[in-house]
């Protein structure tokens, strides 16, 4: 293993070139976005979920960045999967089963400058009309040219309880 050391001037230059008015010791803050910004962000997430349901590559393009990353942790008997959003889209467009995923009680946070957002929400996934798994999802979004796009997604899930299998249809 090789350790790489960077001089403090290099680090200062790195932070200065990417965020001109901040130094590495600046405290970062997140804020709860305005109601209209929250609505805009949730609309992007719902668009992503609609693209999933319709298996539409062009709809995915509208709401996400293909080079973004995904970390998907299915129910316990399955190994986690890591891929780009683009690879995920290619796989989903070939799935024959009916897919329907929904979220609720989403928590939205935005990094103070307004170019990074995170959405944490419980979800359920139906496959062919049956509740297949439930869990939480974490969407990462970046505002690019004034438009929010999903640039990352992580989830962790489990099999539903009997009650959830009925209530979450």
Q: What is the pLDDT of residues 132-141, one digit of tens each?
A: 999 999 999 9
pLDDT of residue 157: 95
Are the CB atoms for 84 and 65 separated by under 8 Å? no
For Cα atoms 112, 143, 102, give the angle at the middle one, nearest 5 degrees. Answer: 100
Enter the CATH code of domain 29-167. 3.10.450.50
Q: What is the pLDDT of residues 68-101, one digit of tens each?
A: 999 999 887 778 999 999 999 999 999 999 999 9
Backbone φ, ψ for residue 167 (5° rounding): -70, -30
d(CA 157, CA 136): 6
pLDDT of residue 122: 98
Domain map of the chain by residue range? Answer: 29-167
pLDDT higher at 151 or 3: 151
pTM: 0.81
Instruction: Give the rounded percent of residues in the chain with a pLDDT score beyond 70.
Output: 83
For Cα atoms 24, 25, 31, give the angle at the middle one, nearest 5 degrees. Answer: 95
């Amino acid at each position: 293993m090789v350790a790489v050391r960077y001089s403090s001037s290099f680090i200062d230059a790195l932070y200065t070139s990417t965020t001109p008015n901040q130094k590495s010791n600046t405290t970062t803050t997140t804020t709860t976005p305005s109601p209209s910004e929250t609505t805009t962000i949730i609309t992007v997430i719902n668009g992503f979920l609609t693209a999933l349901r319709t298996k539409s590559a062009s709809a995915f393009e509208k709401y996400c960045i293909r080079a973004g990353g995904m970390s998907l942790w299915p129910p316990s008997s399955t190994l986690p999967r890591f891929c780009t959003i683009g690879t995920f889209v290619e796989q989903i467009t070939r799935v024959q089963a009916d897919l329907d995923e929904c979220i609720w009680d989403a928590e939205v946070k935005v990094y103070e400058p307004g170019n990074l957002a995170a959405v944490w929400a419980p979800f359920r996934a139906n496959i062919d009309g049956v509740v297949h798994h439930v869990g939480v999802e974490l969407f990462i979004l970046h505002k690019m040219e004034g438009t929010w796009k999903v640039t990352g997604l992580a989830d962790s899930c489990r099999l539903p309880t009997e009650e959830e299998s009925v209530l979450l249809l």
